[in-house]
């Protein structure tokens, strides 16, 4: 109520990117004020629910709804996001060197469509800045994923070096890592999803993860791959097969789309990746295909167009073990987290499941 009646009207009168920075900087500052994180927890947080908890990748996720990458690009506000009811959070995308991203304006709201279009271009402060931010993290109640990418100036044939460099600097600070090869806003990045380049990239990432784990005398941390929703059936099958054979821990399905089907807002003509409700069915279909192709043996985190409990539950029944939100948080505020978690619990009980794990992939049975 506080968000929808007061904060959202004010934020939506601002330029979208300025509003974005205001929220991130505000959460960052709130984390430094004594007692403020506890207040956020009391206002928006949710105690762990045993039926919704998920053990995956050797990690404990107290709740199944996480924050998708792109909102906290530099991990400035991890403590704040850890205090408002998320079960995990993904920070980034981060690149080895700082980069400004694409020219402004590059973020657009489409309210009638419950959607956003962004062409940010991996704007971030680089791995060293993220390392410093994460080294100051105080709230360690949820797993943190680090989403990694390549610098715009790095040619695809050298992309694996950028991903390895990110891992070397940040390995100690992430609970798991996400290889982003599916943003539409870095030229030719999506080409890394196909052909020998994908195998080379994933082999290099796995080697670096193994080396970092061995250096510390521990099992390597999990690493997932984030894929696009726009692939043909043949492309998706090849990509998933390559990921599965590489020994990667899982898939995040999906990133934003280049499709503009069904949009009504004038901003539909803007270039960039589309997120929000228009992606709901597309991402769920990809989850269903990945789960079917792998026989449920490759864990999936579902992302794309989750605005209510039915959206989240559909993705879980299609094969996702966890889900992520971004655009819905912009439109509905942090209250959505309790709504989603409570709604998921109700649907589990309605369908006779005692734990979330029992519902994963149930649409295939």
Catalytic residue among 83, 183, 309, 321: 183
Q: Where are the alpha helices (DSSP H) in the chain?
A: 2, 8-12, 16-30, 36-44, 78-81, 127-135, 159-170, 195-215, 233-246, 280-294, 309-318, 327-332, 335-350, 356-359
pTM over 0.85: yes
CA 324 from chain centre, in angstroms, equals: 6
Which helix (H) or strand (E) segment is 116 a member of? strand 115-118
CB atoms within 10 A of CB 298: 19
Tell me the per-residue pLDDT of 86-118, one tens digit each, with 9 for 90 and over.
999 999 999 999 999 999 999 999 999 999 999
Quote the mean pLDDT of the chain: 95
What does the radius of gyration of the chain's CA atoms come to, in whole angstroms?
19
CB atoms within 10 A of CB 244: 17
Compute the distance between CA of residue 166 and CA of residue 175 in angstroms, rounded to an integer.
14
302 burial type by CB count under 10 A (0-12 exposed, 13-18 middle, 19+ buried): buried
Tell me the per-residue pLDDT of 247-283, one tens digit each, with 9 for 90 and over.
999 999 999 999 999 999 999 999 999 999 999 999 9
Compute the distance between CA of residue 354 and CA of residue 365 in angstroms, rounded to an integer.
17
pLDDT of residue 34: 92
pLDDT (mean) for 228-242: 93
pLDDT band at 209 (very low <50, low <70, confident <90, very high): very high
Tokens of 216: 């510390």
pLDDT of residue 345: 98
Question: Pairing state of beta strands 144-148 and 88-94?
Answer: parallel
Residue 186 has pLDDT above 90, yes or no: no
Compute the distance between CA of residue 221 and CA of residue 270 in angstroms, rounded to an integer.
38
Residue 257: helix, strand or coil by DSSP? strand
pLDDT (mean) for 226-235: 93
- Going by C-alpha positions, the residue among 284, 263, 281 that lies closest to residue 272 is 263
183 is catalytic: yes
pLDDT of residue 191: 76
Residue 339 has pLDDT above 70, yes or no: yes
pLDDT of residue 1: 62
pLDDT-above-70 percentage for the chain? 99
Residue 58 has pLDDT above 70, yes or no: yes
């Amino acid at each position: 109520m506080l968000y929808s009646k007061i904060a959202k009207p004010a934020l939506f009168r601002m330029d979208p990117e300025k509003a974005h920075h205001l929220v991130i900087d505000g959460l960052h500052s709130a984390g430094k004020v004594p007692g403020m994180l506890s207040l956020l927890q009391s206002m928006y947080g949710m105690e762990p629910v045993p039926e919704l908890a998920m053990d995956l990748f050797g990690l404990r996720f107290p709740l199944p709804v996480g924050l998708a990458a792109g909102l906290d690009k530099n991990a400035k506000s991890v403590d704040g996001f850890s205090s408002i009811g998320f079960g995990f959070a993904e920070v980034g995308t981060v690149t080895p060197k700082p980069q400004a991203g694409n020219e402004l304006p590059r973020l657009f709201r489409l309210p009638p469509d419950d959607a956003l279009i962004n062409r940010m271009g991996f704007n971030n402060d680089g791995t060293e800045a993220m390392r410093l931010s994460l080294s100051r993290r105080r709230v360690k109640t949820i797993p943190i994923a680090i989403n990694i990418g390549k610098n715009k100036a790095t040619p695809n044939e050298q992309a694996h070096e950028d991903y390895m460099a990110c891992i070397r600097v940040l390995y100690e600070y992430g609970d798991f890592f996400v290889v982003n090869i599916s943003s539409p806003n870095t030229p030719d990045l999506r080409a890394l999803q196909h052909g020998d380049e994908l195998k080379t990239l994933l082999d290099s990432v796995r080697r670096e993860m193994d080396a970092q784990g061995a250096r510390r005398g521990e099992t390597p941390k999990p690493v997932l791959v984030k894929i696009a929703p726009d692939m043909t059936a043949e492309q998706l099958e090849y990509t998933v097969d390559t990921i599965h054979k590489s020994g990667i821990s899982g898939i995040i399905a999906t990133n934003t789309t280049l499709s503009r089907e069904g949009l009504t807002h004038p901003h539909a003509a803007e270039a960039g990746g589309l997120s929000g409700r228009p992606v709901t069915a597309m991402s769920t279909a990809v989850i269903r295909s990945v789960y079917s192709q792998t026989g449920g043996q490759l864990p999936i985190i579902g992302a794309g167009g989750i605005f209510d409990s039915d959206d989240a539950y559909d993705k879980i029944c299609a094969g996702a073990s966890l889900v992520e939100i971004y655009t819905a948080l912009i439109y509905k505020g942090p209250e959505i987290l309790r709504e989603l978690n409570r709604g998921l619990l109700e649907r589990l009980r309605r369908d006779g499941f005692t734990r979330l794990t029992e519902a994963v992939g149930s649409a295939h049975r």
